[in-house]
Structure 1
């Protein structure tokens, strides 16, 4: 047992354990007052320099009136500084867009940095476990620059030595609640540095109507919606395969029909062929006229159509061997997009074992060999489990709409996607609010992107089909 003695008696602390010669005499060093003052002054000076370096405009705007008042009096200071705010106000009233882009977002970023993030940084870091309090000193990740966009705050952070991205990904909810945001996402910017994204509002809250059919034919990326940052969502279908997973009513049909709508001019020009497999007889049957004889509904017809796609792929591969390694859509060799509405019905729930084997083998062949010769697969399903869809890893690009369980997010988008902010299980199930909202993980990027597809109504689909069958512009 040890005695706990207050004050200077700590230097005389000794063990009370019998039969021991060990004596504990902690060294007590008295710090000179002058040294304490020098350290305090140095920290104050370094803080002022850092403040001037990080916020030169804000400091200049604050200090200029003070300096002018001290040198020339408040009348002269008011006369010299009044034109600046008046000019800024006139600029904001006459051309708000440029004012916000050049001044407004910077002012908001400075305010959010001072009032929200720097003010609460220490308690949030300590309580969430991302900071450490050792020997009377706080060791905190370093807060960097804050950048404001129209919808979110981007916060640069320098991690503590020894921390990993997963340490932050496991505490996203702590960070979101600590800084008053609905959610938080983390992305590794470079070694030891992160970018935290805190949305201020949801730009994808409202339903997006169907986009006009493009004027020019293209098999390249087609616009099917909007990203969270306001940019168009371009879905790549040529040269890849896309898997869409989502619960009932999550909006899988929005993605399928938006992609078909964007490809219609290329279909009319003969550069693209859409082969449709519709085992539920519900989704793709609305636009059956768009597919011609490349439409299958029964399991037997679906298996035959997939076998035809494999045959086309193999014949092209034989012709392209030693001549070209990539495909460019032409009238003779159009891009073939195989659209499967509910792929799990064909690969897992099909009672006929032979048909199930044929369909699974054809899909595996297309997804492993098809994209180099211009044959792509766009498949949709509700249940992403491995036993339901055992070839999901053969789809380079994946889209997760609303899912029922948190574990399903990583099943669709890959390990760690939910930790990086892909909260597909939190998307609203209310009809109209969350339909078409999802997260995309592309082959070239591990970071999920939040998106929303346009809503193509039954009326839009029938109008497309009727105009296409009549040879008219949609």
Structure 2
């Protein structure tokens, strides 16, 4: 249902919008959204969703035609409650997806990966993965990824390698172009992080500080250079995701409180995009807020394990890489670095052997010298 509401004398659009939740509740609407009608400062367009178009899950399907990785292109992920396809732009954006356990983060993750998958074999897109939950999620589609890190040191190596890609690409682009355009052999690098908190909040102090430093630098400089991040997290609090504001687009799956909704989608979102009210029986359902501040209720398609395996078998990555830790140690051999690839190195498989310590013959112990004039007895007399 669409309503056009005109303000009376002395009213503002903000006042009209404040009354829309009550109107929606009166008409038993499932959700609603407001926009200025054709740019007017006195007329409000109110869209009320009366029928739940998101009821029931829908399985994802392996794409059979190539997509685009250029900025502005939408990757189809699922459905909108007002009808039509819901999609996200990956190129030129850093994406944060937040949702409590069981909210359906895997549906959004594999939807993004599936949308980019047809461009993986030609190396127009290169996928990198960090999954510190033993790789349970990402290794289901391992063949799609250039590398998947499932330990803390490997994760730091992946972040350092991608930051190195951004640094060298930035030097090559300086004075030439301001935004990277993906093409075969010069790909869009997409880092997929399953459970961001394991990387930047729950590790030991030294590891999490280094991970936060590398990731913050990547989020700050990577977008225009064709190095983007898609991170998934259960707990969006500031003390867990300290660089939350560096993500340029966010998706709120089911959250636990209105405060968490505001943390993910911004101030006032708890009223216009109540992610904390999403039903636990509808995993994959989410609220998003676009660049103009308009909220949208959506649902991502579900990706069963056999479909993920089929996706990985159809579109395997041809550029498998083994990133090295950021600072080579003495004795490590560094391989030649490709022009747009990570630094690779060979690391000795065991601890370095120590050279045997030279042994010198022990000098004979000198006998204890008696006093030159003989020993002195306890009573002070000298013995001959």
TM class, shorter-length: 0.7 to 0.9
TM-score by length of 1: 0.63
Structure 1 CA distance for aligned equivalents of residues 238 and 117 of structure 2? 34
Is residue 275 of structure 2 the alignment partner of residue 424 of structure 1? yes
Residue of structure 1 in register with 2:295 after alignment: 448
Structure 1 CA distance for aligned equivalents of residues 192 and 216 of structure 2? 14
SS at match of 1:461: helix
* Unmatched segments (≥5 aa) in structure 1: 1-152
> Does the CA-based 8 Å contact 2:197-2:241 persist in structure 1?
yes
Q: Structure 1 pair 161/406, CA: closer, same or farther in 2 (3 Å)?
A: farther
Equivalent runs, 1:16-27 vs 2, <5 Å: none
> Does the CA-based 8 Å contact 1:367-1:377 persist in structure 2?
yes
Is residue 28 of structure 2 the alignment partner of residue 196 of structure 1? no
Residue of structure 2 in register with 1:206 after alignment: 56
Residue of structure 2 in register with 1:325 after alignment: 178
> Does the CA-based 8 Å contact 2:194-2:233 persist in structure 1?
yes
Structure 1 CA distance for aligned equivalents of residues 212 and 10 of structure 2? 45
Is residue 161 of structure 2 the alignment partner of residue 313 of structure 1? no
The count of aligned residue pairs is 312
Q: Structure 1 pair 161/214, CA: closer, same or farther in 2 (3 Å)?
A: farther
> Does the CA-based 8 Å contact 1:221-1:238 persist in structure 2?
no
Is residue 102 of structure 2 the alignment partner of residue 249 of structure 1? yes
Q: Which has the bigger relative contact order, CA under 8 A and spacing at least 6?
A: 2
Residue of structure 2 in register with 1:412 after alignment: 264
Deviation at 1:310, TM superposition (A): 0.5
- Relative to its length, the structure with more helix (as a share) is 1
Residue of structure 2 in register with 1:341 after alignment: 194
Structure 1 CA distance for aligned equivalents of residues 197 and 317 of structure 2? 34
> Does the CA-based 8 Å contact 1:344-1:389 persist in structure 2?
yes
Could you tell which deviates more after superposition, 266-275 or 410-419?
410-419
1:291 is matched with which residue: 123, 145, 160?
A: 145
Equivalent runs, 1:78-89 vs 2, <5 Å: none
1:458 is matched with which residue: 298, 301, 305?
A: 305
**Deviations for 1:422-442, whole angstroms, at most 9, x for unmatched residues?**
121111102xxx111111223
Q: Structure 1 pair 188/388, CA: closer, same or farther in 2 (3 Å)?
A: farther
> Does the CA-based 8 Å contact 2:104-2:284 persist in structure 1?
yes
Deviation at 1:225, TM superposition (A): 1.1
2:28 is matched with which residue: 166, 180, 186?
A: 180
Residue of structure 2 in register with 1:378 after alignment: 230
> Does the CA-based 8 Å contact 1:159-1:193 persist in structure 2?
yes
Deviation at 1:250, TM superposition (A): 0.8
TM-score by length of 2: 0.77
CA RMSD, aligned part only? 1.9
